[in-house]
């Protein structure tokens, strides 16, 4: 790579960082009995709660947390959410999903469920509950196109807020062994003078990193 290209890449990277909106994040963690030597050959499943009437935990958020953990420790086997839900259908649908660890004991009295869980070798089930929502938006922008070209003029701003809670259940003891909360908020801006320049606050991404990092510390022997 020649010097001019390298300068362009560095400038672009710097611009991306400069143009990110500010995010405020708070993470609370409370865990008991973490596996000292990691989870070994067992697997973990991350599931989103979707029983509330006014929101669903986003599937892409669950996937983001999964990717965050596996990017830093690929020895942790995390079962795909859809694979787990299909394998244990109909016991983990929004209507039927267990709401407390004691309900797992009842589920395990059914041979068909027990054999599926044994096949997946799941030691921890992590429920993620929450969502990201737009709390405020203002401003206006006008775009036009003419014979000489196109362009936009105006200014828009909006704020997002994320609240997520991850609850860790130990399958072998059918007990809750941890709870992690994260709250993030941030303001994004979009000024436009001919070209709109989005300055996006990565609110959901920060919440994903916060929960992912704490879960990584709980599950991994290397952190």
Partner 1 sequence: MGLTTIDKQYPSLRAAALASCLLFLSACGANQVIVDSQFPQPALDPIPMTLGVYFSEDFKTHIFVDEPKAETERGWVVETGAAQVSLWQTILNAMFEKVVYLEQAPSTETPSAEVQSVLIPTISDLQYAIPAHTNTKVFELWLKYDIAVTDNTGDSLAEWSMTAYGKTPEAFMQSNQEAVGAAAIVALRDAGANFAVNFPKVPAVSEWLQRASDETPLREGTP
Q: If binding is defined by CB under 8 A, does position 198 make contact with partner 1?
A: no
Identify which of 164, 169, 176 has the alpha carbon closest to the alpha carbon of residue 211.
164
The neighbouring-strand residues paired with 122 are 43
Spatial separation of the C-alpha atoms in residues 204 and 132, rounded to whole Å: 6
Q: How far is CA 47 from CA 51, 56, 163, 191, 219, in A?
A: 12, 12, 16, 38, 16
The side-by-side arrangement of strands in the sheet containing 122-146 is 23-31, 175-196, 149-170, 122-146, 43-48, 77-79
99 binds partner 1 (CB under 8 A): no
Chosen residue from 42, 77, 116, 156 binding partner 1 by CB under 8 A: 116
Asked if 135 is part of the footprint of partner 1 (rule: CB under 8 A), the reply reads no
Least separation in angstroms between residue 112's CB and partner 1 is 4
Q: Choose which of 44, 62, 76, 88 interacts with partner 1 (CB under 8 A).
A: 88
> Is 113 a residue that touches partner 1 (CB under 8 A)?
yes
> Of 72 and 116, which CB lies nearer to partner 1 in the complex structure?
116
Choosing from 1, 18, 99, 112, the residue that interacts with partner 1 (CB under 8 A) is: 112
Residue ranges that bind partner 1, judged by CB under 8 A: 56, 58, 85-91, 93-96, 110-113, 115-116
């Amino acid at each position: 790579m020649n010097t001019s290209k390298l300068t362009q890449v560095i400038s672009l990277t710097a611009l991306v960082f400069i143009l990110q909106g500010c995010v405020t994040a708070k993470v609370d963690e409370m865990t008991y009995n973490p596996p000292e030597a990691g989870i070994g050959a067992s697997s973990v499943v991350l599931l989103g709660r979707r029983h509330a009437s006014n929101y669903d935990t986003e599937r892409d958020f669950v996937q983001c947390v999964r990717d965050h953990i596996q990017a830093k420790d690929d020895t942790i086997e995390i079962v795909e959410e859809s694979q787990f839900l299909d394998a244990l259908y109909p016991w983990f649908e929004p209507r039927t999903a267990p709401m407390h660890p004691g309900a797992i004991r009842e589920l395990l009295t059914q041979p068909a469920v027990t054999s599926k869980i044994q096949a997946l070798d799941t030691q921890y089930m992590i429920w993620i509950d929450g969502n990201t929502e737009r709390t405020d938006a203002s401003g206006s922008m006008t775009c036009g196109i003419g014979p000489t070209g196109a362009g936009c003029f105006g200014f828009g701003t909006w704020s997002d807020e994320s609240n997520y809670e991850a609850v860790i259940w130990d399958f072998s003891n059918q007990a809750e062994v941890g709870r992690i909360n994260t709250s993030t908020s941030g303001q994004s801006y979009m000024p436009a003078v001919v070209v709109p320049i989005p300055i996006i606050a990565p609110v959901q991404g920060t919440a994903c990193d916060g929960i992912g990092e704490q879960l990584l510390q709980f599950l991994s022997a290397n952190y």
